[in-house]
Structure 1
């Protein structure tokens, strides 16, 4: 029986998305049907922390409907892993973030890893996210300082720069493998034929590949009744969270002690 996975692109459809979707389909097994879902009415760029909050809210509202529609798992297409941890409070089906899947996969390739992402702002956020994941195997987080929206315009340069940086990072950090902390970098390398290694023999983890394969494995467990999100602690269900999904954002107001609005 074909497993059904939702690949959620955390924003509206763009020309760059078509390249990503083609690779997602190529990475998936023949027994997997991947259906792409786009978000409407959200900021076009998730890089800013404020814009990410609006995107996460849209994702949290979407995820229960994907479960109700019969999907076996959902993978979110951004290494910020937006709404993955929060979404597990709301749904029972597996949710996969590319960064979390990549650092898990890295443990099968080497004992230590470094991360290479697109820019310093993203690198800073990924560092915080690693603290949330409580992973101590990362030797360093680095960035190419490239605009992800322009990467597909010059894929050869992205690939050459990435390969050079991977070699430098592994030597400087003493890491065994480099996790690509940006789905677009992974897309560029894969489009050029580099998925598991760069520059001949340097191992890298492609976050799109890692997320799809993790989603397939967890989907199989979920369908067999052998996957269950713990409801005893962090992911304990909350009625207030479910109710909050129906709230409409109307802006916050500042009130005085008599309840009169003053700002």
Structure 2
């Protein structure tokens, strides 16, 4: 059976170039509404892709599964993981929780997430995303979900210092068409979307992509539906011994991007930082040191 660390979509993508024409047709059909598109009967899956049932059997075996039943079982597990709410997640986790202190259990989980994420993160993809976000000819827009919106806000605050043309999209989805209206072809939309994926974010991604925006997506190891619209995708591990998912690795990658972008444009960033410090001096925002007589 294939590695538990890889999703079925990972396996399909990895083997796509070596597939036959019919198998690629099936692969595209499966990825179009993943993972739901693979949960019907083998006949239904074949008919949806306009291929034969033997083609379905051959492809799932190429992916490493013994047969369609095992393939579909993996999809069911993935779907269960992505739709689990905090209560379900906690109740599933708690009976198997080891006796070690929560600090140690969290540290182990976070370090494992970091190892897994860095092992699958392509440095070239990272560099390309940093270059795209750092391009001052492009306007940058950021949005996140109910929880990940806080990381979008954090990224926004730092990017504002580094370069102009940064917009934090309102949490009110009714106002999103106004932001998309201002997007020009080649502008960048940075989105954060993890499991229990938010349907409104997918709509935003789709209409922005249709407008010509380039999408940079931060998601989990299972992959938000927004993946199909994204130019660059960071699929990061988020598991934690908690009812909530961990944002540690996502924040780590965001902070690494911040440093990469500002280092590549340091002179301009330094000028902006100096101007900003002057503005801070003119306000009571920060506590000032006083000389003692």
Indicate whether the TM-score tops 0.5: no
TM-score, structure 2 length as denominator?
A: 0.31
Higher relative contact order (CA 8 A, sep 6+): 1
* Higher helix residue share: 2
TM-score, structure 1 length as denominator?
A: 0.33
* Higher strand residue share: 1
Larger Rg: 2
